[in-house]
Structure 1
Amino acid sequence: MSTKKNPAVNVGVRVLLLAFILLFFVLFGRIVYIQAAKEVDGVQLSDYAESQRTVSKTLEAKRGTIYDRNGMPLAEDVQSYTVYAIVRDGFQGRVKDEEKVAEELAPILGVDQAYILDQLNVTSTEENPGPFQVEFGSSGSKLSYEKKEEIEALDLKGIYFIRENKRFYPNGVFASHVLGYTTENDEGEIVGVMGLEKSLDDYLQQTPGKIQYKRDKLDTKLPNAEEMVVPPHNGASVYLTFDQKIQGFLEDAMKKVEEEYTPSNMIGIVAKPETGQILAMASYPSFDPNVRDITHYQNDAISYRFEPGSTMKVFTVAAAIEEGVFNPNELYQSGRYSFNGSTAISDVRTNWGTISMLEGIQRSSNVAAGILGMEKLGPDRFLEYLKKFDLDKTTGIDLPGETNSRFVYKEPIEKLTTTFGQGTAITPIQQIKALTAVANDGKMMTPYVINEIKNSNNGETLYKGKPEVAGTPISAETAERVRTILGTAVSESVGSGKPYEMEDYDVAGKTGTAQIPGKDGSYMTGHNNYFFSFLGMVPEQDPEFVIYIGIKQPQLGLNQYGYPESGSSPVSKVFKPFVQNTMQYLDIAPREEEQKQEKAQKGFTVKEYKGTDITAVSQQLQEAGMTPVVVGSGKIVRQEPAAGETILPGARVFLLGEENPAMPDLTGYSYREFLRLSSLLNVQPNPTGSGYVVKQNVEAGQPVQEGDYLVVELEPPAPSSTANEDETNGGEDDTTDEYADPSSQGANEEDDASSSAPVE
């Protein structure tokens, strides 16, 4: 039988053999090429091998910390954690029980259980195995260590954590509009978006470092392997002029008032007058930068421009004293006033009759301010002083977002109303800056909040804040006189600032009650629709700090007599506890008990004034804290009480001049004071009723003839006389003091509503 091979098979074998030979030469050629060229598809094999053996890890850096003046952190980076779950099928450490994980994790993260389940239930196939791990959005990131421990205690299989840094504000709602906050941008970088976090972002930004080393296939560092380390650089350390304790006192007082009165807006600023350093600043509504529950983004302390009300009178009086045109004993007719054909302005809700300029300022009289600004100074010179106090320009404070004032000063009525703070709009920080001139012996300081910026890596100083004198609008002598006058506006019974008087410390300042323009441009009406404020300093002489407190539209309740509270109630409830706590913290000794008793009990011994100049004696009495009543001019011919008699501090001393005696306004005189005046004038007293004078037959300002009958009607003080300001006299009953002046009970913050009197 023949064994001849099949030709087709032989051909197939040859083709297959040839294919193998060709493949061998292709592979061999490729190997030779790779050995020679040492690259594959343009990738250098040596570089690729190096990259596989080299580990590169990021070294985290921290954003710069913001500290207070004493090194207490106000904004800092702290360790935080992001929780994640491994969900890849086939991986031993994956989540096994999705229902249990969702049920127990959801309440800790504050999300719905369904959301957790939706994240965990991923689709996995051979072609598309799905994600290896999942996270839970913002709810599962930036977790505190305490929150991490709480989750770990659940012992949930498949749940892990990534450690990272987060921005943390340890005090929560605390100078929030000043500090601002940070967020993550599209590139994953943390950047400041508000306040100092934004304006100082270039200083605060960090630069991460890295470390590189060789490893083996088990990911273990090779022995004696070289390391390349690029060290991280933390952001710069920023030290503010703020004092954490003082800021805390301010925030605490404002929070309590916010809870009680629910105002639409509150502002507080505290500064050192000799340097311009801001010790505390707060604006409400505020927010917690840790949770960013922000409803109001503007820092109103520097960005809110409004008509200030009677706090403007501080600068009107200062200008008049500096120019030598303020005579505290000069009499004027309160009530209504017009200048150069303007519409008349008024002292709202009251007419005190003929009173001295000093008493007018103490009572916060619009008419007194108008006369000083328009008649005594003149519109042009008055405007010059407003500009000397820098009220026409931004203060230059080192915070973002400062707004400038808006002067309304063309028509006669606009010039007139500017003297008592209506029409022209300024900011709280402008008022604080101007007040430093009064508190700092004439030197006006530029406010600032950045004390120092240091490189946190080597301690190098990158920036140093320094006190800067912005101007000297008034002399030291004028500043001292203004402080004294502002002190009497608080301490005297007729003063509008009486609710701010404190037992342990001398306070000097001025109240303000500003009307609020409505949407239609006209002023809003209603007892609550005012911006109530206080601009002052503590102590009166050599002040430790100047302060501004403003509260807009507080929901005022009723006082103990059933009458509406005054606007000074909420403002003083911020001011008084703040001052008490701050002065104790600064270790400023209160008035000695002996001084308090002396002030309250010692009394005043009247001297012999007959034959001396009535104006000079009146000024001496005012400086001694007494209340001179000047009848006539020239030399003194008669006085009451007589020389050597001791009377209570602040009581009236009656002086009769040799020329032009005229009847004073007796409203509010006690029966004893009425008899003293009758004796002084040598008239026949004819009183009816009991209590305090409410009517008189000889009108104030009319000439007086000896022997005439002086008929007055007296009435006991009604509850309504104290209803407007029950705090004015500290809750004391004036009827217990025979020298008491019940007219003081109308001298209150509500009277100060005249600081923004409706133009008639």
Structure 2
Amino acid sequence: KLPGTTKVIEQAKNGNDVVLTLDSSLQSTVESQLQATMENENAKSAWCIVMEVETGKVLAWASYPTFDQNEHKEIPSYQDAISTSTYEPGSVMKPFTYAIAMDTNVYPYNQTFSSYQFWYNYDPNTAKISRVAIGTKTPYPYIADALDEDFGTITFDQGLAFSSNVGICELLANYVNYSQYCDYLDKFGFFQKVNTPYVAQSLGVKNVGLPTDYLSTGFGQASSITVLQLCQAYTSIFNDGTMMRPYVIDSIVDSDTKQTVKKYKKKAVGTPISSQSAKEVQELMSHVTDEGASGHRFKMDGIDLLMKTGTAQIYNENLGKYDPAYHTSSVMAAAPANDPKVMVYYGLVSTNITSYSAEPFKKIMRDTLQTYGVSTTPTTQTQDTYEKWESYSMPSLVNHTIDYAHEKMKDKKVHFEVIGDGTSVVGQYPDANITINSNDRIFVLTNGSKITMPNMTGWTRKDITVFWQLTGIGIKTSGYGKVTSQNVEEGTTISTDTKIEVTLE
């Protein structure tokens, strides 16, 4: 104490208690599975976040490498992989490109594209990207699917199931408007801080100025984001268009009086897409776990999932190019598929990009559903479903007999719908030579004068639209998903005057 100064003693006060939204059991599961991932996959980093879809409440949050807080002599990284580390996410960005195309009414339903190598040129006068013949010399590098895969001529719906980069390029070059695309990225909250209280965050970089970067952003390269931004944006798809803010603090409580000082609740932060667009993207994501699709190995017995997988290159600053060895791999999923309640995003950075174990993700998802009592019973199907994914070329059936049509379709694992009581085919869907897959619904219209009401249970909106277009018989729909009931009994004779109503769930 210096002469002439005053000694002031202030007693310490207890701080407030912070109550987190985390579920201790799920957090333990996530921690153990990420530790196993680090050890078994030779991973540089790994992360996982589990959230409630309808509220944004974070149920588990972990980022590796980590450290023992009791012995933190050496901290391997000060970056949290979920909120402060930015990355190029890869193909988990593709559903947003699809959502934008659908929401702006330019999505090419039922149309096809060639999936092998997207060679292109750019006209600065028209700001138009044009696909050119393979091998054409242009200033721009061609874009291919992973491992230079060739899926042949496929529909855009199939493009998401197969995770086709070329399909994304086709959408962005020929259908989606550039300015609208950029605006929607902002609406989804990318490259902006997520309003999660008390969480340090980074922004990422929107890099869409050059043609190559614009196309690459559509499939998750070139532009960088955070995991937290991605999860917030996905709530808009899983939550029927309404985007929810992720939050990890439930409340702040006075440690002495036990009174709640501050309470945090769910908060909607926008509706970037319509409910219908969200439902349509959900329908496409439900097929990512089909046999032959990109996420089949993550399929879980007794659980219907909405899913998108992602693999991304990582820019290596020391090499001045993308790292030839390490990649980001991740899985975004929500369940149950017919009414998403919880979502899990699991990812890692390692050299093992094609065969890393699916078991950590499955364990986390299974424990999440069991903890929260979410039903794991798949949606009831009224028709057989075929597990194995097979593709076929649609035969030409028009002007042939119905017996001929049955013969041509009998070896194909599809749902074959015959409209009318005629003996010859006068219309078909899809058209001849279009690629079709297992479980697709195929329609033929005959020359008969009598049309009877089919059993539409399990039909999608697309199926209903096709029936309407072929017959001219209007159908009133309510809800989203698949048909669960109809007001006209199966087998009833119907015409353009029949008032048909169906309910989808």
Instruction: Determine if the TM-score, normalized by the shorter chain, exceeds 0.5.
Output: yes
Q: Secondary structure at the match of 1:537?
A: strand
- Whether 2:81 is the aligned partner of 1:300: answer yes
| Post-superposition offset of 1:339 | 4.6
Q: Which residue of 1 aligns with 2:212?
A: 413
Read off the aligned partner of 1:352 and give its amino acid letter.
Answer: F
Q: Secondary structure at the match of 1:550?
A: strand
Structure 1 residue corresponding to 2:323, chosen from 524, 530, 551:
524
Q: Which residue of 1 aligns with 2:484?
A: none
Q: Secondary structure at the match of 2:330?
A: strand
- Whether 2:17 is the aligned partner of 1:234: answer no
Does the CA contact (< 8 Å) of 2:307 and 2:332 recur in 1? yes
- Whether 2:276 is the aligned partner of 1:477: answer yes
- Whether 2:260 is the aligned partner of 1:260: answer no
Q: Which residue of 1 aligns with 2:445?
A: none
| Post-superposition offset of 1:662 | 6.0
Does the CA contact (< 8 Å) of 2:243 and 2:270 recur in 1? yes
- Whether 2:335 is the aligned partner of 1:538: answer yes
Q: 1:403 to 1:498 in 2, by over 3 A?
A: same
CA distance in 1, matches of 2:434, 2:64: 46
Structure 2 residue corresponding to 1:586, chosen from 364, 372, 378:
372
- Whether 2:89 is the aligned partner of 1:331: answer no
Q: 1:515 to 1:626 in 2, by over 3 A?
A: closer
Read off the aligned partner of 2:322 and give its amino acid letter.
Answer: Y
CA offset digits 1:64-105 (Å, max 9, x no partner): xxxxxxxxxxxxxxxxxxxxxxxxxxxxxxxxxxxxxxxxxx
Does the CA contact (< 8 Å) of 1:628 and 1:652 recur in 2? no
CA distance in 2, matches of 1:432, 1:282: 14
Q: Which residue of 2 aligns with 1:362?
A: 161
Q: Secondary structure at the match of 2:292?
A: coil
Q: Which residue of 2 aligns with 1:498?
A: 296
Identity of aligned residues (%): 28
CA offset digits 1:399-443 (Å, max 9, x no partner): 443000211111111111111111011111111000000111111
| Post-superposition offset of 1:486 | 0.5
Q: Which residue of 1 aligns with 2:454?
A: none
Q: Which residue of 2 aligns with 1:573?
A: 359
CA distance in 2, matches of 1:389, 1:642: 47
Q: Which TM-score applies when normalising by structure 2?
A: 0.72
CA distance in 1, matches of 2:204, 2:111: 33
Q: Which residue of 2 aligns with 1:125?
A: none
Q: 1:635 to 1:577 in 2, by over 3 A?
A: farther
Structure 2 residue corresponding to 1:344, chosen from 142, 147, 152:
142
CA distance in 1, matches of 2:265, 2:328: 33
CA distance in 2, matches of 1:635, 1:398: 65
Q: Which residue of 1 aligns with 2:102?
A: 321
Q: Which residue of 2 aligns with 1:393?
A: 192
Structure 1 residue corresponding to 2:247, chosen from 442, 448, 457:
448
CA distance in 2, matches of 1:378, 1:632: 35
Written as runs of structure 1 = structure 2, the 5 A alignment for 1:16-35 is none
Larger radius of gyration: 1
Structure 2 residue corresponding to 1:353, chosen from 143, 149, 152:
152
CA offset digits 1:256-301 (Å, max 9, x no partner): 2222122001011111121111111111101121222521222111
| Post-superposition offset of 1:520 | 2.5
Q: Which residue of 2 aligns with 1:507?
A: 305
Q: Which residue of 1 aligns with 2:170?
A: 371
Higher helix share: 1
- Count, aligned residues: 404
- Whether 2:406 is the aligned partner of 1:642: answer yes
CA distance in 1, matches of 2:92, 2:312: 9
Q: 1:499 to 1:660 in 2, by over 3 A?
A: closer
Does the CA contact (< 8 Å) of 1:391 and 1:426 recur in 2? yes
CA offset digits 1:559-587 (Å, max 9, x no partner): xxxxxxx53533x2221011112211222
Question: Structure 1, unaligned stretches of length 5 or more?
Answer: 1-41, 43-57, 59-205, 209-232, 557-565, 606-624, 670-760
| Post-superposition offset of 1:647 | 7.7
Q: 1:236 to 1:360 in 2, by over 3 A?
A: same
Q: Which residue of 1 aligns with 2:475?
A: none
Q: Which residue of 1 aligns with 2:500?
A: none
Q: Secondary structure at the match of 1:335?
A: coil
Does the CA contact (< 8 Å) of 2:396 and 2:433 recur in 1? no
Q: Which residue of 2 aligns with 1:287?
A: 67
| Post-superposition offset of 1:461 | 2.1
Q: 1:661 to 1:547 in 2, by over 3 A?
A: closer
Q: 1:247 to 1:604 in 2, by over 3 A?
A: closer
CA offset digits 1:328-382 (Å, max 9, x no partner): 4211111122455243211232111111111111100011111122321122211
- Whether 2:93 is the aligned partner of 1:312: answer yes
Does the CA contact (< 8 Å) of 1:309 and 1:513 recur in 2? yes
Bigger relative contact order, structure 1 or 2 (CA pairs below 8 A, ≥6 apart): 2
Q: 1:304 to 1:576 in 2, by over 3 A?
A: same
Q: 1:307 to 1:633 in 2, by over 3 A?
A: farther
CA distance in 2, matches of 1:352, 1:408: 29
CA distance in 2, matches of 1:535, 1:660: 31
Question: Structure 2, unaligned stretches of length 5 or more?
Answer: 4-8, 123-139, 419-424, 439-505
CA distance in 2, matches of 1:319, 1:635: 39
- Whether 2:257 is the aligned partner of 1:458: answer yes
CA distance in 2, matches of 1:207, 1:313: 56
CA offset digits 1:183-217 (Å, max 9, x no partner): xxxxxxxxxxxxxxxxxxxxxxx954xxxxxxxxx
CA distance in 1, matches of 2:91, 2:175: 18
CA distance in 2, matches of 1:508, 1:553: 25
How large is the Cα RMSD of the aligned pairs?
3.6
CA offset digits 1:620-653 (Å, max 9, x no partner): xxxxx99785467999987986299988866799
Does the CA contact (< 8 Å) of 2:91 and 2:163 recur in 1? yes
Does the CA contact (< 8 Å) of 1:604 and 1:647 recur in 2? no
Written as runs of structure 1 = structure 2, the 5 A alignment for 1:630-669 is 630=394, 642=406, 663=433
| Post-superposition offset of 1:466 | 2.1
Read off the aligned partner of 1:376 and give its amino acid letter.
Answer: Y
Structure 2 residue corresponding to 1:552, chosen from 344, 349, 370:
349
| Post-superposition offset of 1:325 | 2.0
Written as runs of structure 1 = structure 2, the 5 A alignment for 1:699-710 is none
CA distance in 2, matches of 1:569, 1:477: 35
Read off the aligned partner of 1:444 and give its amino acid letter.
Answer: M
- Whether 2:228 is the aligned partner of 1:429: answer yes
